[in-house]
Chains A and B, each alone.
Chain A
Amino acid sequence: MRYSGIRIIKEALTDHKGWTPAWRDAEPQAQYDYIVIGGGGHGLATAYYLARNHGAKKVAVLEKGWIGGGNVGRNTTIIRSNYLLDGNEPFYEHSLKLWEGLEQDLNYNTMVSQRGILNLIHSDAQRDAFTRRGNAMLLNGADADLLSTKTIQKRYPFLNLDNARFPIKGGLAQHRGGTVRHDAVAWGYARAADQLGVDIIQNCEVTGFRIEGGKCLGVETNRGYVAGGKIAACVAGSSSRLMGKANMRLPIESHVLQAFVSEGLKPVLPGVITFGAGHFYCSQSDKGGLVFGGDLDGYNSYAQRGNLPVLEDVCEGAMAIFPMLGRVRLLRMWGGIMDMSMDGSPIIDRTHIDGLYFNGGWCYGGFKATPASGWCYAHLLATDAPHEFARAYRFDRFEKGQMIDEKGVGNNPQLH
């Protein structure tokens, strides 16, 4: 069924009896050409682009719970492509371009809203660094705009420009950045993939890999053995746990990142504002709640909840830069488990086991990467060659010394 305005009117006049489920509840078959493990944003996007770009016929997505129940449902919904390094920027810019056409492509309202993102500057040194980053973005075909304090004051009059520790001295804006309705991304990809024949199998947990003679033949699940030509792991947050079943150790630690939503307010905040120096960033959802977050809790965790010191730290950051938020009440808070890699950048690569592929290590940048991650992973799976935009995301970059370390903090996953 195609969604359209006319369809809505027709359904409105016929008691909405014509709507059908957005995707089939598929039963696992004995054999597939491609098995994608993980029904999150990246896994569903991978399955969709496998079918759409590469004509793959027998594709399954195995999800242990319900689709979109992991990090694609537990993030702060921001999209942007404001990276510095060559290994990253073309990839994220490709992703942003895919976001821009996503709704037409999927025939699904994912509520892509390019309301812009602003990174605040507080010192001369930071202005130099942000100018350099802006230039790197422009060189890679993205948009970047260095704003003066005066412009920021005009556009965002509620900001505290004269904070004693971090006075605002400008900002780097990307006007094409913004927010997306995160759950709709999972649902939209699921529906579009299903229409191309992909089997989306929920409540199907992979419990092991069948590996013989250095080749992965299929996966053991709680619903029986499923054979696959190519097995694609895509479970960021639980990567170490899953790949441990294939006796692999990864350059990844799992950490919890918290996010918070306030009660609903009238529109007060245009766009996304990041106050990196104060460990705080914020946007306003279409429902009116302020969606904000800060840094990792800072220690290995698989608990999808965080601790209070970080909440306090984030709220202090909020008050320092948005004094108007003082009376706003917190509505909800949650934690997501991040695959923190050793250099802060992801991995999309083959493993040393034939037929087993890996996508993970997204740190806390996975949501904005969803379309390009699926696009490039599908390319790798279908052609066995890395996509040109994901060429740097290799497993062996650590031993070869070719880290993609945006922040330059070395192999400290908790600091990326």
Chain B
Amino acid sequence: MIINHPLLGPRDSAEFTYMGDASLIDRPDWKNPQALTQFIDYGYMRDNPAGAHCELWYHEQGDRSFLVVTRDTTTHEIFSVELARDVARSRGRST
């Protein structure tokens, strides 16, 4: 697979390490009264769709950025690649 890195252009997926579902960006707030159930959900439960899947790829052999890749799990077709930082900030995260 070729991952079209937003900063570096097309790169071989072998340069990356797969880090799982992109929902891992949305870590629950530990102060929330529901934090316990939220963290169980966050840590262990997955949508695991057959089709479009947002996932984290870490450019370990490259610039060490985290990317959010939207990929079809039935065909390996990649629809979009974004910097995970941009995705997190667009959801209101400051860091």
List residues of chain A with CB under 8 Å of any chain B CB: 238, 240-241, 249-254, 298-303, 307, 309, 342, 398-399, 411-414
Whether B48 and A250, one on each chain, are in contact in the complex, defined by CB atoms closer than 8 angstroms, is yes
A251 in contact with B46 given A299-B55, A300-B53, A309-B14 (CB within 8 Å): yes
Asked if B94 is at the interface of the complex by the 8 Å CB criterion, the answer is no
Give min CB distance, A208 to chain B, whole Å: 16
* Residue picked from A251, A309, A342, A412, most chain B C-beta under 10 Å: A251
Q: Please, which residue of chain A has its CB at the minimum distance from the CB of B39?
A: A399
Whether B43 and A411, one on each chain, are in contact in the complex, defined by CB atoms closer than 8 angstroms, is yes
Whether A303 and B40, one on each chain, are in contact in the complex, defined by CB atoms closer than 8 angstroms, is no
Tally chain B residues at the interface, Cβ within 8 Å. 23
A398 in contact with B43 given A298-B18, A301-B76, A303-B76 (CB within 8 Å): yes
A398 in contact with B48 given A303-B73, A307-B1 (CB within 8 Å): no
* Residue picked from B41, B47, B48, B50, most chain A C-beta under 10 Å: B48
Asked if B95 is at the interface of the complex by the 8 Å CB criterion, the answer is no
Give min CB distance, B88 to chain A, whole Å: 21
Give min CB distance, B38 to chain A, whole Å: 12
Asked if B7 is at the interface of the complex by the 8 Å CB criterion, the answer is no
A249 in contact with B46 given A300-B55, A398-B40, A412-B20 (CB within 8 Å): yes
Select B18's contact among A251, A307, A414, beta carbons within 8 Å.
A414
A249 to B23, CA, bound (A): 14
Whether B47 and A249, one on each chain, are in contact in the complex, defined by CB atoms closer than 8 angstroms, is yes
Asked if B44 is at the interface of the complex by the 8 Å CB criterion, the answer is yes
Give min CB distance, B14 to chain A, whole Å: 5
Interface positions of B from 1 to 46, Cβ below 8 Å from A = 1, 13-14, 18, 20-21, 40-41, 43-46
Whether B40 and A399, one on each chain, are in contact in the complex, defined by CB atoms closer than 8 angstroms, is yes
List residues of chain B with CB under 8 Å of any chain A CB: 1, 13-14, 18, 20-21, 40-41, 43-50, 53, 55, 71, 73-76
A371 to B46, CA, bound (A): 28
Whether A302 and B43, one on each chain, are in contact in the complex, defined by CB atoms closer than 8 angstroms, is no
Whether B50 and A254, one on each chain, are in contact in the complex, defined by CB atoms closer than 8 angstroms, is yes
Give min CB distance, B18 to chain A, whole Å: 4
Give min CB distance, A303 to chain B, whole Å: 6
A250 to B47, CA, bound (A): 7
A303 to B77, CA, bound (A): 11
Measured between beta carbons, the chain A residues less than 8 angstroms from B76 are: 301, 303, 307
Give min CB distance, B93 to chain A, whole Å: 22
* Residue picked from B1, B44, B75, most chain A C-beta under 10 Å: B44
Whether A302 and B18, one on each chain, are in contact in the complex, defined by CB atoms closer than 8 angstroms, is no
A59 to B53, CA, bound (A): 37
A368 to B75, CA, bound (A): 29
Measured between beta carbons, the chain B residues less than 8 angstroms from A251 are: 44-46
A307 to B14, CA, bound (A): 10
Give min CB distance, B69 to chain A, whole Å: 9
Whether A302 and B74, one on each chain, are in contact in the complex, defined by CB atoms closer than 8 angstroms, is yes
Give min CB distance, B10 to chain A, whole Å: 16
Whether B75 and A398, one on each chain, are in contact in the complex, defined by CB atoms closer than 8 angstroms, is no
Measured between beta carbons, the chain B residues less than 8 angstroms from A240 are: 46-50
A342 in contact with B50 given A303-B74, A414-B18 (CB within 8 Å): no
Give min CB distance, A301 to chain B, whole Å: 5
Measured between beta carbons, the chain B residues less than 8 angstroms from A249 are: 41, 45-47
Measured between beta carbons, the chain A residues less than 8 angstroms from B20 are: 253, 412-414
Measured between beta carbons, the chain A residues less than 8 angstroms from B71 are: 299
Whether B46 and A398, one on each chain, are in contact in the complex, defined by CB atoms closer than 8 angstroms, is no
Q: Can you spell out 28 A-B residue pairs with CB atoms less than 8 angstroms apart?
A: A240-B47, A240-B49, A241-B50, A249-B46, A249-B47, A250-B45, A250-B48, A251-B44, A251-B46, A252-B46, A253-B46, A298-B18, A299-B71, A300-B55, A302-B74, A303-B73, A303-B75, A307-B1, A307-B13, A307-B76, A309-B13, A309-B14, A398-B43, A411-B43, A411-B44, A413-B20, A413-B46, A414-B20
